[in-house]
Each structure stands twice: as C-alpha cells, then as structure tokens.
Amino acid sequence: MVKKLLVALLVFLGGAAHAETIKTDVVVIGNGTAAIAAAIQSGRSNVKTLLLLNGPWLEELSLQKMTALNDPTYAPSGIWEELDKELRQFYKKTSGYDTLAKALMFEPYAAAGALKRMADSTKQLTAKLNVIYNSIEKDGTGWKLEVMIKGEKVTIKAKVLIDGTEDGEMIKKAGATLPPDIITWLSKGAADLYRTSIASGTYLTADKQGAINYPGGAVYYIPLSAVTIKGVDNLLTINKTLFPNGAYNLTAKIAVGQGVGATAAYCAFFKTTTQKLDPRVIQIEILDFKSSLLYFTDVDRKDPYYRAVQQIAATGLLKGYYIVPDSENPNGDFHFMPELEVRTAEIKPILTEIYSRVFLWMNREKPGEQFTVGNLLSLISEITLAEPADFKLKVQKAWKTEYKFKSDFDLNKPVTRREFAILANQYLSPFARKVDINGKVLN
C-alpha cells in the first residue's frame, strides 16, 4: 500500500513539475499593439509563440474616446489592413459613420477587440494575461524566464525573446544595453540600411497630436539592425523610445511589430540566431503577409506589381523621393515616381555592385543619360544570356497584354521607373541577391 502511494506521489509530482515549464519558439513580452502584432505575425509564420501581458488585454486602448487617423496618405497594409477592414465593418451600421472615407475613425476599444479576435484565431499563438515577471536569463542561444501566472510559478524556455515593453524592461533585466532610437527618417537619406527595412510609414507629428515635431517630416523606415541587440543572441526590441501609448501611431506600432515578429520567427524556424539574419528571407515573409518594406504614397497597394516595386526599391536600384512637408501634408511624402524616366546614373552603381557583367556591358553599349527600353532589354539579355531577338519579341508581345503598360512598345523610348521595376524584378531578380544586416551586398 505504501509503495503504491509512493508511486502515485512521484507520478503526481512529475506531472506537476512538467506543468510548471512551458517550452516555446518565441516569447513576446509587452502590453501594447506592437507586441501583439509581433506575436500574431510570429504565430502566423508557423512557429509556436507565447504572448505575455502584465495586465489586461490592450489596456492602452481601453479608456480612450473616438480617434481619427486622418493622414492624407493613409494606405493600410499587412495586419493593419486587416484591422482597418474589420473596424470599417464594425461601424458599418453606425448612424452617421462614413466607412468609405479614407480617414479611419474608431474607438480604441474596438481596435483592441479586433486584435483579440486576430490573436485568438492564430493557431500557433497563446496569450497569458496579468503575468508577473520574476527573472530572465540566457539559456544557450535562447532564454529562460521565471514568471507568475495565476499565482503559480512557471518557467518559460524560448528560442527567441521579443521585448515589447515600453521602456525595454526585459532588455534591462537581461543585463543587455538598450539600443538607440530605432526609427530612421527617410528625409535624412537611406544609405545601405534602406535595403534591410522591415517596416515603413508615416509618424504623426506635433501638428496632429501635440508631440514633438521630428526634423524634416515624419516618413520613417525601420532597418533590421535597429531591432536587434548587439552581442546578445535572439533578443529583439520593439518599443524603445518608439511611440507614445494609446491609439496615436497605431499604424506604425503594428507595422513595426509585424516586422519584428517575422524576424523572430525566422530565427526560430531556421534554428539560427539574430547574429546570422538573412534580411531578404525576412523581407520575403513580410511581403508574403501583405505588409510593406517601404511606404510609397504614390503606388497603389492594389497594383498587381506593387511587390515588384517594393523589391526593386529595397535593392536600392530605384530609390524613393522624399517630398518636403507643407501645410497640406505636415508629414511629407515618400514617392516612387512610377512614371518618371530612369536615368543611367541612378542605376549604374547598384547594377555594377550586383552584377559583374554590367561593367563590360556599360563600356560597350554606352547608354545615354536616359536609360531606354532597348537598353534594359539588352542588359537583361547580357546578364541572363537570353537570345536578344527572341527576348525582345517576348517582351513586345507581353508589353500591353500582360504588363498593361500605358505606353507603346518602343526600344528608343526612355524606360519609366515602373516599367524598369517590373521587368528587372522578373528577369534579373536583384532582390534575390543577399545583403548583410547593414545592407551591404554579399558576393
């Protein structure tokens, strides 16, 4: 009898010990919309994800009145586009509410509820509320956390940790160094980091919410290097000095969170670390889930070649144009200028960096100041070794039937940026060339 009781006790204790440890691929800590977007994306990227909140669900949105996102360049994408559609559907029968207006008006509690439904429908995501954090330490390349959930001590082991707290609380607890501000303003130039963007958009300025007015407008992008912690494996950050609490800049919070969630999922899925990130693979995941790498306000999200524009822009071949803010648009704009003619000087440096054959082709063909359709087809034939006459005929047939280009096919016509982006993306695939976390091309 005693022996049976002892066996039963050991089985019980073994079961209890097992229940006190949770193993997951990604753990996200934070109460805000950015943390929740990161958790949703991580789960959707098919890795086991645990979201820990130290309070109720999205408390930052629970007490606010009607909010208007009235940015004139407003163009939702990714998780934010889903939220936008759900909110408009939610208010569809509300008297006096214009769901067709470009500016979105909503009560923050409605956004909190919509995000809760998204999280609940994500199979690989589990959320725990009112969690108390006791300790955090490295566990190989992953992390070990000691927390309290519903009054019980729980050990959590994760491959990747996302710190979505407002002040970088988990980074501090881990003894790591907080990174500098993660926003990069497109008005200051993109350099090579432009190539590693995981989120982009407009940031509300003082004219709209009473906050500080950032120099040169507020069109931003987030390079991949800005969300990693130097010298510490598999620790990512979102909110450090990023955005204030509440519904302001909700679009930016969600965009950044989605990008960070995709980054964490990459590490977990490929069993690697943040020291060995492949920006292109992460960016492909972000694009696959309908988010944007660069926020062009003059390229319709419904354009069938929107992704081609995103990918070509992210290579640096055709950089965007920052439009200085004015009274009508205090944030400024970031334009792709799809109908602008391509200049040889703007594409030559990047083409030469990516393709070794370009140098010889440039010296032989000597294209003029404006790059023509004929130049582009000749260059593609040179790099891909396609037979020039056959390739020309192929593109000519598809010019209006497949690509729907507005202009007539003319080899001597200067090629537009949109035409260049579509054809170069399809036949040269420059986006497939790997870059490091600083945007340098890897040969």
- Give the DSSP letter string of 25-72: EEEEE-SSHHHHHHHHHHHHTTS-EEEE-SSSTTGGGSS---EEE--T
158 and 143 Cβ atoms separated by less than 8 Å: yes
What's residue 360's pLDDT? 96
Inform me whether the pLDDT recorded for 137 exceeds 90: yes
Best-predicted range by mean pLDDT among 84-98, 185-199, 216-230, 381-395? Answer: 381-395
Tell me the C-alpha distance between 343 and 334, whole Å.
19
Banded model confidence at residue 323, pLDDT cuts 50, 70, 90: confident
Kindly state the average pLDDT of the residues 224-233.
91
Q: Which CATH architecture has domain 18-315?
A: 3-Layer(bba) Sandwich (3.50)
Q: What is the pLDDT of residues 36-65, one digit of tens each?
A: 999 999 999 999 999 999 999 888 777 667
Banded model confidence at residue 314, pLDDT cuts 50, 70, 90: very high
Phi, psi dihedrals of residue 442, rounded to the nearest 5°:
-100, 120
Between 10 and 54, the higher pLDDT residue: 54
Banded model confidence at residue 339, pLDDT cuts 50, 70, 90: very high
Percentage above 70 pLDDT, the chain? 81
Kindly state the average pLDDT of the residues 69-87.
78
What's residue 241's pLDDT? 46
Q: What is the pLDDT of residues 356-406, one digit of tens each?
A: 999 999 999 999 999 999 999 999 999 999 999 999 999 999 999 999 999
Between 153 and 76, the higher pLDDT residue: 153
User: Which tokens belong to 353?
Assistant: 């960096």
The alpha carbon torsion through 164, 178, 292, 320 (nearest 10 deg) reads 160
What's residue 10's pLDDT? 54
What's residue 70's pLDDT? 53
Banded model confidence at residue 247, pLDDT cuts 50, 70, 90: low
Tell me the C-alpha distance between 209 and 216, whole Å.
17
Q: What is the pLDDT of residues 294-306, one digit of tens each?
A: 989 899 989 999 9
What's residue 213's pLDDT? 46
What's residue 211's pLDDT? 43
Banded model confidence at residue 97, pLDDT cuts 50, 70, 90: confident
Domain limits of the chain? 18-315, 344-415
What's residue 188's pLDDT? 58
Average pLDDT score, the chain: 87
Tracing tokens 């559609």 back to the chain, one arrives at: 85
What's residue 219's pLDDT? 76
Inform me whether the pLDDT recorded for 334 exceeds 60: yes
Inform me whether the pLDDT recorded for 226 exceeds 60: yes
Burial environment of residue 9 by CB neighbours within 10 A (0 to 12, 13 to 18, 19 or more) = exposed
Kindly state the average pLDDT of the residues 182-204.
74
Angle at 239 between CA 236 and CA 245, to 5 degrees: 155
Closest-CA residue to 422 (of 380, 393, 368, 383): 380
What's residue 193's pLDDT? 86
- Cα–Cα distance list, 43 to 119, 255, 257, 292, 304 (Å): 9, 16, 12, 19, 27
User: Which tokens belong to 345?
Assistant: 């000087």
Between 252 and 66, the higher pLDDT residue: 252
User: Which tokens belong to 52?
Assistant: 């820990």
Best-predicted range by mean pLDDT among 74-78, 131-135, 243-247? Answer: 131-135
